[in-house]
């Protein structure tokens, strides 16, 4: 049998497909393809990121690998064991943490709650409390607080600690830093990274925070519509876009206030401004997009100012770009050449930003 320390993959999926059926009066009225032929291999000791918008199929894939859901077709193996035929053996060696989960009973303290979960993994009391104290220190959480008194962030810290209780060979982290403050999220990310490196454990992380994936993942797969569109190291994925130049333009003056409001309204409406509303923001976006050599443009607004991130074919496009912006009555406050990010890779592959389906842009 393969395990987390052999040459075989820690996680393997072949032509994995999952279709959810909506039934009414016993008849299937609607089908939703959550996974559409996923092929994936995660190596032992690797921190692997699954990057995708909400509804892309990330959680469905994790649930199948965690033996909580059956695939409609295809095959999936964890530590060399088949998820359909050997779920009990897999469960002994994995764990999962989901962002926003509400595990734990309000009447118990954090320490008691973690002890409860440690018992599900057969730890002795001495070993359990030793691990609990170490993990609570790591996440900076007071174990004597009752679970029903925890804030969202504190609760997520407790969930995070729960995932490491049994020292799993494979840990599934499904949006684990959801709802956490920046400092805590950073601390947990560095803990995950160290844990993977020091103990040669495997982590499958799903996230829609680009920075998170970029910071801790050895390799990243971009998933959209239940399919994996690309899979490589973050550096290689970004290198694929190097033939493009990315410039960031800071705009002021003219109709910038109106444009900023338009961008903000558009964001609130799920990116309507990017799709075109006819307002100042839309006029700006279209004008920039129409400049020959511009491949993509995304607008963002902060504190009444507008920032345009423009992908261009070459530096020669910049002259025409600057002149177009001036013609629209905007003042150019800043121009900065940037390296492509995973957000750019995602945009290039899927044609939309990661937050277009209600998710958040990287922090």
Partner 1 sequence: MKPSLLALLWHNARAARARAYVRVVSTLRELSWLPFEVVLPVMAAAAYVYLYRALDAPPRYAGFVLLGSAMTAYWLNVLWSMATQFYWEKQEGQLELFFLAPISRMAILAGMALGGMFMASTRAIGTLALGAWLFHVPLGGGHPWLALGTFLLTLVALYGLGMVLASVFMMYGRDAFNLVNLLQDPIYLASGFYFPVRALGRAVAFAAAAIPLTLGLDAMRQLLFGGEPLALWTPGVEMAALALLAVAYLFLAYVALTAMENLAKREGRLTVKWQ
* Residues making contact with partner 1 (CB under 8 A): 20-22, 63, 66-70, 88-89, 91-92, 94-96, 98, 101-105, 107-108, 112, 115-117, 119-122, 162
Minimum gap (Å) between residue 264 Cβ and partner 1: 29
Give 289-340 as a 3 state SS string: HCCCCEEEEEEEEECCEEEEEEEECCCCHHHHHHHHHHHCCCEEEEEEEECC
Nearer to partner 1, 103 or 324 (CB): 103
Minimum gap (Å) between residue 261 Cβ and partner 1: 34
> Cα(242)–Cα(341) distance, rounded to whole angstroms?
10
* Cβ–Cβ under 8 Å, residues 250 and 307: yes
> Cα(362)–Cα(345) distance, rounded to whole angstroms?
13
Nearer to partner 1, 162 or 285 (CB): 162
* C-alpha count within 13 angstroms, C-beta hemisphere, residue 134: 11
Minimum gap (Å) between residue 188 Cβ and partner 1: 19
Nearer to partner 1, 66 or 342 (CB): 66
Nearer to partner 1, 162 or 208 (CB): 162
**Cα separations in angstroms, 273 against 20, 113, 252, 262, 267:** 32, 46, 18, 6, 7
Minimum gap (Å) between residue 94 Cβ and partner 1: 8
Nearer to partner 1, 67 or 350 (CB): 67
Minimum gap (Å) between residue 267 Cβ and partner 1: 25
Nearer to partner 1, 120 or 268 (CB): 120
- Write b or e for each residue in 290-315: b if 16 or more Cβ atoms lie within 10 A of its Cβ, otherwise e: ebebbbbbbbbbeeebbbbbbbbeee
Q: What is the torsion angle, in degrees rounded to the nearest 10, for the CA atoms of residue 68, residue 74, residue 79 and residue 85?
A: 60
Nearer to partner 1, 279 or 359 (CB): 359
Minimum gap (Å) between residue 15 Cβ and partner 1: 19
Minimum gap (Å) between residue 62 Cβ and partner 1: 10
- Write b or e for each residue in 221-260: b if 16 or more Cβ atoms lie within 10 A of its Cβ, otherwise e: bbbbebbbbbbeebeebbebbeebbbbebbbeebbbeebb
Nearer to partner 1, 91 or 157 (CB): 91
What is the biggest distance separating any 2 CA atoms in the chain, rounded to whole angstroms?
Answer: 73
Sheet holding 305-312, edge to edge: 294-302, 305-312, 245-252, 331-338
> Is residue 46 helix, strand or coil?
coil
Minimum gap (Å) between residue 204 Cβ and partner 1: 14
């Amino acid at each position: 049998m393969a395990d987390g320390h052999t040459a075989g993959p820690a996680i393997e999926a072949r032509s994995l497909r999952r279709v959810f059926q909506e039934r009414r009066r016993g008849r299937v009225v609607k089908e939703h393809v959550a996974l559409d032929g996923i092929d994936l291999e995660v190596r032992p000791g690797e921190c692997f990121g699954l990057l995708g918008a909400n509804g892309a199929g990330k959680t469905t894939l994790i649930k199948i690998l965690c033996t909580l859901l059956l695939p409609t077709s295809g095959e999936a193996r964890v530590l060399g064991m088949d998820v359909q035929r050997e779920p009990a053996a897999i469960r002994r060696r994995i764990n999962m943490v989901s962002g926003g989960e509400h595990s734990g009973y309000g009447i118990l303290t954090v320490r008691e709650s973690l002890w409860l979960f440690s018992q599900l993994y057969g730890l002795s009391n001495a070993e359990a409390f030793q691990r609990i104290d170490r993990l609570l220190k790591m996440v900076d959480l007071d174990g004597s607080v009752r679970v029903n008194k925890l804030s969202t962030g504190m609760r997520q810290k407790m969930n995070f600690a729960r995932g490491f209780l049994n020292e799993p060979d494979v840990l599934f982290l499904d949006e684990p830093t959801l709802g956490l403050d920046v400092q805590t999220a950073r601390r947990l990310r560095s803990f995950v990274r160290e844990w993977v490196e020091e103990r040669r454990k495997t982590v499958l992380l799903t996230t829609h925070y680009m920075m998170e994936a970029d910071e801790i993942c050895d390799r990243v797969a971009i998933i959209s519509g239940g399919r994996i569109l690309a899979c490589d190291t973050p550096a290689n994925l970004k290198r694929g876009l190097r033939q493009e130049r990315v410039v960031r333009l800071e705009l002021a003056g003219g109709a910038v206030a109106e444009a900023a409001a338009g961008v903000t309204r558009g964001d609130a409406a799920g990116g309507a401004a990017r799709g075109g509303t006819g307002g100042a923001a839309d006029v700006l976006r279209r004008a920039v997009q129409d400049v020959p050599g511009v491949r993509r443009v995304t607008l963002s607004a902060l504190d009444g100012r507008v920032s345009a991130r423009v992908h261009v074919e070459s530096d020669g496009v910049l002259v025409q770009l600057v002149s177009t912006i001036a013609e629209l009555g905007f003042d150019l406050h800043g121009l900065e050449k940037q390296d492509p990010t995973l957000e750019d890779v995602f945009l290039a592959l899927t044609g939309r930003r990661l937050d277009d389906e209600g998710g958040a842009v990287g922090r």
